[in-house]
């Protein structure tokens, strides 16, 4: 099983291989995501209307296992993210997190600093969370209120 706060053994002892990180605006209708309105029309056999379609600002991170499987990690309506170059990243010794390679933090400096960078952020709210993706060469930290979507592609 792969997930934030899990052992993530599929990535082995070296962690996932970083592929990409991009900030995208997607269209969401129900539980489906689309690149643009044409994709919705092609997929929608009912009336062509825009009711129920919303724009979602998403952060999409792609990593790969050493076996070649690609994992898409999507954070919808994230508040803030930071992509750090691993060799220059300082270790946060007082952080409290669960998981290996895909971490969910209970305590971190980023959670403490979030209130200075994000309007309405509160690390005491259960929904405001810090997720970390520790991939080969990159440490990606995300502050968000929503759980990420993980899909093997």
In this prediction the pTM is 0.85
Instruction: Give pLDDT tens digits for 57-112.
Output: 999 999 999 889 999 999 998 999 999 998 899 888 899 999 999 999 999 999 98
Q: How far apart are CA 78 and CA 1, in angstroms?
A: 24
Q: Is residue 2 part of a domain?
A: no
The residue-averaged pLDDT of 48-62 equals: 81
Percent of the chain with pLDDT strictly greater than 90 = 55
Number of domains in the chain: 1
Instruction: Give pLDDT tens digits for 110-127.
Output: 998 888 888 877 766 656
At residue 114, the pLDDT reads: 86
Q: Is residue 4 part of a domain?
A: no
Q: Is the pLDDT of residue 45 over 90?
A: no
Q: How far apart are CA 82 and CA 146, in angstroms?
A: 17
Domain that holds residue 137: 9-152
At residue 116, the pLDDT reads: 86
Closest CA to 143 of 120, 112, 116, 114: 114
HSE (CB half, 13 Å, CA atoms) of 86? Answer: 14
Instruction: Give pLDDT tens digits for 16-29.
Output: 999 999 999 888 88
Q: Is residue 62 part of a domain?
A: yes
- Token digits of residue 5: 């706060």
Q: How far apart are CA 141 and CA 134, in angstroms?
A: 9
* 55-91: b (≥16 Cβ within 10 Å) or e: eeebbbbbbbbeeeeebbbbbbebbbbeeeeeeeeee
Query: CA 85, 91, 92, 97 torsion: positive or negative?
Result: positive
Q: Is the pLDDT of residue 8 over 90?
A: yes
CB 116 within 8 A of CB 130: no
């Amino acid at each position: 099983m792969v997930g934030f706060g899990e052992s993530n053994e599929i990535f082995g002892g070296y962690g996932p291989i970083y592929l990409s990180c991009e900030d995208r605006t997607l269209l969401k209708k129900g539980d489906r995501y689309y690149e643009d309105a044409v994709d919705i029309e092609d997929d929608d056999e009912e009336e062509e209307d825009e009711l129920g379609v919303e724009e979602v600002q998403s952060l999409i991170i792609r990593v790969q296992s050493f076996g070649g499987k690609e994992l898409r990690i999507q954070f919808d309506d994230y508040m803030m993210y930071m992509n750090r170059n691993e060799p220059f990243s300082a270790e946060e010794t007082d952080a409290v997190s669960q998981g290996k390679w895909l971490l969910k933090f209970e305590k971190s400096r980023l959670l403490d600093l979030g209130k200075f960078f994000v309007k309405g952020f509160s690390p005491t709210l259960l929904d405001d969370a810090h997720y970390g993706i520790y991939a080969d060469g990159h440490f990606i930290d995300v502050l968000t209120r929503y759980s990420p979507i993980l899909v093997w592609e």
